[in-house]
Structure 1
Amino acid sequence: MIDVQVSIIIVNYNTTALTLQCIKSIRKMVLGIRYEIIVVDNHSSEGAVALLASRKDITFIRNGENLGFGRGNNKGAECAKGKYFFFVNSDTYFVNDAATILHTFMEEKGNERVGCCGGMLLTSDGKKQASYGNFPSVFGVLSEIGLYRLYRKRFTDRLSIAVKDGAVHVKEVDYITGADFFVRSAVFRQVGGFDPDFFLYFEETELAWRIRHAGFMSMWVPAARIVHLEGGSTTDTSGKWPLQKIRFFTQSRYLYFRKTTGRWALLAVKMLLSFQALMRWIYRRERYYFDVFRIIVTS
């Protein structure tokens, strides 16, 4: 049996066309390593998912319910054979051999304490996307409501939970965006994988937090490049986040603070976000913003 160097794991939920596009790009671009592709379907309702189930060149796992992003990826990791796991979103596609670039980086002498890494995420027209971020903090949330204008560079470098970076140099970061999360399988298993309490959002941030506390680093390797069609499974054309997306995001944000910094930090964050949402509703006077305020207060 040929040893697998990298297990590429994709969670699919009603995004079969995007997942097929992702697989096609992997087959075209990833040429320098031995890899396997594992697709985990979170109980999609679309009939097209049969196209994935029928493929012989992937491992297909069909869940009996929608387990969410983290638990879905954990299912894929359970059967993965690679020394490294490469978790990629279904709404991504490779524009270079990102998997080999990240694998080569992790194998370099001196990088033994790098637990995970990721590449540069781009929009379909080549613009930079948020590829990494800083661990959430109370001061970061306080800054979000307007204070960041007083220290924009510090906010971006040290406090923002999502960072777009046009640099070309490798650097240590707090966490790698979950759209292209490349991790040592031994480290992933050591820290327990994705926390199943997170359904969607912040699961990669909390995992990176545990990786950091286990003594490993997260690194950004911008030479690896992947297009991310962000929101492929939660599309909206209004220019506003769908309320369900806001609910998932808010619940996971609160859960992150509760698990990593404690209930007093969570209380402070909830008060700050509630105040921000209330002011936005008073200023806008639209039902949508009242609904956002209600979600933030009641989550």
Structure 2
Amino acid sequence: MVEEIAKMIAEGRGQEAAQAIRRAKQEGKTGSDWIVLEAELAVMEGKIEEARRLLAAGLEQDPEHSEFFVVLGETYSFENSNLAYLCFEQALLYCQTEEDEEMICAAMEDLRKRCGFRVRETSFLIVSYNDRELMKACVSAIRKSVRRGTYEIVVVDNRSTDGVQKWLRDQLDIRLIENGRNVGYPTGMNIAYRACRKENDIFMLNNDAVLTPNAYFWLRMALYAGREVGAVGPMSNEASGQTISPVPGTMEETFLLAKGINLPSEDPCEEALSLTGFAVLIGAEAAKSVSMEKDIMDDRYSPAYFEDDDLSVRILYAGYRNRIVHNA
């Protein structure tokens, strides 16, 4: 029955599909596949906000459902090709069939050819000092959140003493730079920035920060909402000006809470003077605009503190905007 209704929608038989969906709901048919059908019908009828509302409800129950992101991408196809591309890329992350993967890749290729397309890959920059288990959790979350082959991880270790260096050396997808002494956070981040691919967007991430499912995706959606956006930052359980409420007490509570947060939202962003430096995603153009002789941060703030405020203000002075993303 699901396939039959999907065919109706594909053939433009909207009224017939709507009647079939209503009958199915009366019969108690529920689940992700039915939400996808309702959302696709809403897109076909031009009811974009209704489609996104349906998808938000679906993603709260099943945040790794590939088809939700495909339909979400369709809602952006004529509004913002970059956002549509990000949705399809997220669908690809969760895709489980070769046939669907081919269809998604074809849609992404079409979007790449559009005027104004500018989506870039991401360089994750991390300064390490001890906290081996936290670093493992941080890197593991990156790997789960980002499609393989579309990112790099650059870690600068400030002469840790707890064995984290050995673990980092064994990770084939991490470019490790080992300092002979603890040079502090701003200098360490500058070393990482010099080593990364400058054509990429830059994600400065603390080693104790763990990405929840789809948080990275919604940060990118905020970054590519318009060319005026230079940097975005997420919510957290402990970050000045960016703390969620209620504050979760455990990692399990954090991930459970995130299921109800990392969702489509009508107006999720807040303009900000400063972004807290635990996790800041900066567009490649903005990063180049504020870099100082190949450095992204001002070494004068070493060993730490206020370097994120300084960076945020320089991004504003360069003509960009900083935004806190409440659905990440």
| Range into which the TM-score falls when normalised by the shorter chain | 0.5 to 0.7
Higher share of residues assigned helix = 2
The CA deviation string for residues 206-228 of structure 1, in whole angstroms up to 9 with x for no partner, is: 1111111121110011212xxxx
Counterpart mapping for 1:53-132 below 5 A: 53-81=169-197, 82-108=199-225, 111-122=226-237, 129-130=238-239, 132=241
Q: Specify which structure has the higher proportion of strand.
A: 1
- Quote how far apart the aligned CAs of 1:170 are: 1.0
Q: Which residue number corresponds to residue 184 of structure 1?
A: 283
Q: 1:100 to 1:34 in 2, by over 3 A?
A: farther
Which residue of 2 is the match for residue 30 of structure 1?
Answer: 146
Flag the structure with larger Rg.
2
The aligned residue for residue 320 of structure 2 is 216
Cα distance between partner residues in 2 of 1:106 and 1:69:
24
Any conservation in 1 of the 2:270–2:325 contact (CA below 8 Å)? yes
- Structure 1 residue 45, shift from structure 2 partner: 2.2
* One-letter code aligned to 2:289: Q
The answer to whether the 8 Å contact 2:132/2:163 transfers is no
Runs ≥4 in structure 1, deviation > 6 angstroms?
none
Partner of 1:282: none
**Contact in 2 for aligned 1:30/1:98 (Cα 8 Å):** no
Q: Is the 8 A contact 2:233 2:324 kept in 1?
A: yes
What SS is found at the alignment partner of 1:61? strand
Gaps of 5+ in 2: 1-118, 246-260
Paired residues for 1:168-207 under 5 Å: 169-191=268-290, 192=292, 193-199=296-302, 200-207=304-311
**AA matched with 1:10:** I
* Aligned counterpart, 2:160: 44
SS at match of 2:309: helix
Within 2, Cα distance between the matches of 1:177 and 1:99?
16
Q: C-alpha separation between the residues in 2 aligned to 1:104 and 1:32?
A: 19
Helix, strand or coil at the partner of 1:178: coil
Q: Is the 8 A contact 1:31 1:97 kept in 2?
A: no
Q: Percent sequence identity over matched residues?
A: 30
Q: 1:33 to 1:172 in 2, by over 3 A?
A: farther
Contact 1:14–1:46 (Cα < 8 Å) also in 2? yes
- State the number of aligned residues: 184
Distance change in 2, residues 1:131/1:185 (3 Å): farther
Q: Which moved more, 1:74-83 or 1:190-199?
A: 74-83
Tell me, in whole angstroms, the C-alpha distance in 1 between the residues paired with 2:282 and 2:149: 15
